[in-house]
């Protein structure tokens, strides 16, 4: 189970990363399909926590060089998942200067060097058994469970009328429709900050 868990995490992290960016780039219908894959891979990562915790707890006792970097990596992944769920449910869309989505993507980007280091430093060689029938069945069960969790979450957001039920299929929230002064202005890198968007961001009238 140890090898399988680490290998599954490897594939799921890659899937979550790629599907997140694909959703950003499309911002139209394919976005939703990508976000379903995205959310399911995120929940599958969470579902592996009990197994990964056992692996990590044992490994930490051995204090291999860089063990603290793995812990930091774990914190960043958890922060990213938490912020993703806060965004999707709408329970906390922004806090202070940052939106939950900025924290979500920011934490994931910060996690990249740690992920690369972790995978190289704690390398696991591929074996034929990784493609066995049992491994595939486990993977199928994991993804089915994660998909069901996501579907239940989406249904709950609607049943309880959480703010997340108002978001677009791309995951975006409405932002100043029909109020031109609130719409984000086009701005080049070295332009001064436009007044309308400054006022909106700081919440002034
Ligand atoms: C969500 C992603 C992951 C998190 C949060 C995570 C976290 C951790 C932590 C905290 C440890 C214990 C500290 C240490 O020894 O460095 C650890 C150990 C380890 N991890 Fe990960 N890890 C993740 C993904 C992976 C992946 C993708 C692989 C392999 C491809 C992997 C392979 C290992 C191995 C082999 C160990 C050492 C086990 C041992 O020495 O018994 N991990 N991981
Ligand atoms: C460590 C990598 C990542 C993990 C584990 C992860 C996981 C998640 C999870 C669990 C959610 C909540 C899904 C829901 O309940 O609807 C979510 C939402 C989201 N994520 Fe990620 N994510 C990661 C990285 C990224 C990246 C790099 C991007 C974009 C570049 C991204 C874009 C999004 C978007 C747009 C949503 C909102 C979906 C919606 O509201 O329907 N994610 N993510």
pLDDT at 128: 76
Same domain, yes or no, for 169 and 180? Answer: no
Same domain, yes or no, for 157 and 184? Answer: no
**E strand spans, the chain:** 94-95, 98-99
Same domain, yes or no, for 168 and 183? Answer: no
Q: How far apart are CA 188 and CA 205, in angstroms?
A: 25
For residue 159, give its domain range. Answer: 2-174
Confidence band for 186, pLDDT divided at 50, 70 and 90: low
Question: In sequence order, which residues have a C-beta less than 8 Å from that of residue 146 and are 6 or more positions away?
Answer: 40, 41, 42, 43, 44, 47
User: pLDDT tens-digit profile of 22-42?
Assistant: 998 887 888 889 999 999 999
Number of domains in the chain: 2
Distances (CA, A) of 144 to 36, 40, 130, 140, 148: 12, 9, 19, 6, 6
Q: Higher confidence at residue 112 or residue 168? A: 112
Section 62-86 average pLDDT: 96
Ligand 2 first shell, C-beta below 6 A: 13, 16-17, 20-21, 23-24, 35, 38-39, 42-43, 45, 77, 80-81, 84-85, 87-88, 104-105, 108, 111, 150, 153, 167, 171
Same domain, yes or no, for 200 and 105? Answer: no
Same domain, yes or no, for 131 and 194? Answer: no
User: pLDDT tens-digit profile of 130-172?
Assistant: 888 999 999 999 999 999 999 999 999 999 999 999 998 888 8
Kindly report the pTM of this predicted structure: 0.88
Same domain, yes or no, for 82 and 181? Answer: no
Q: Ligand 2 pocket test: which of 72, 84, 88 has the largest number of ligand atoms within 8 Å of its C-beta?
A: 84
Under a CB-based contact definition with an 8 Å cutoff, are residues 170 and 23 in contact? yes
Same domain, yes or no, for 189 and 119? Answer: no
Same domain, yes or no, for 126 and 162? Answer: yes
Name the nearest CA neighbour of 81 among 18, 17, 143, 154: 17
Section 29-57 average pLDDT: 95
Under a CB-based contact definition with an 8 Å cutoff, are residues 118 and 70 in contact? yes
Q: Which residue has the tokens 């069960």?
A: 141
pLDDT at 203: 47
Q: DSSP code of 182?
A: G
Name the nearest CA neighbour of 118 among 42, 173, 183, 66: 66
Same domain, yes or no, for 105 and 162? Answer: yes
CA of 112 to the centre of ligand 1 (A): 14
Q: How far apart are CA 2 and CA 58, in angstroms?
A: 11
pLDDT at 185: 65
Same domain, yes or no, for 181 and 126? Answer: no
Same domain, yes or no, for 138 and 166? Answer: yes
Same domain, yes or no, for 125 and 199? Answer: no
Q: Higher confidence at residue 16 or residue 199? A: 16
Q: In whole angstroms, how large is the CA radius of gyration of the chain?
A: 20
């Amino acid at each position: 189970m140890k090898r399988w868990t680490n290998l599954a995490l490897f594939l799921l992290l890659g899937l979550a990363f790629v599907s997140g960016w694909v959703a950003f780039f499309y911002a139209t219908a394919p976005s939703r399909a990508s976000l379903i894959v995205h959310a399911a891979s995120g929940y599958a990562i969470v579902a592996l926590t009990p197994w990964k915790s056992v692996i990590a707890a044992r490994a930490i006792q051995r204090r291999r060089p860089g063990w603290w970097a793995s812990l930091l990596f774990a914190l960043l992944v958890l922060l990213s998942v938490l912020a993703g769920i806060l965004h999707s449910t709408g329970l906390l869309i922004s806090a202070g200067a940052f939106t939950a989505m900025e924290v979500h993507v920011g934490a994931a980007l910060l996690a990249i060097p740690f992920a690369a280091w972790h995978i190289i430093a704690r390398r696991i060689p591929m074996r034929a058994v990784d493609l066995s029938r049992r491994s595939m069945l486990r993977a199928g069960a994991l993804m089915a469970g994660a998909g069901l969790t996501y579907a239940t979450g989406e249904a709950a957001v609607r049943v309880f009328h959480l703010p997340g039920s108002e978001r677009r299929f791309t995951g975006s929230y409405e932002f100043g429709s029909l109020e031109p002064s609130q719409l984000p202005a086009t701005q080049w890198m070295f332009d001064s900050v436009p007044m309308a968007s400054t006022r909106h961001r700081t919440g002034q009238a």
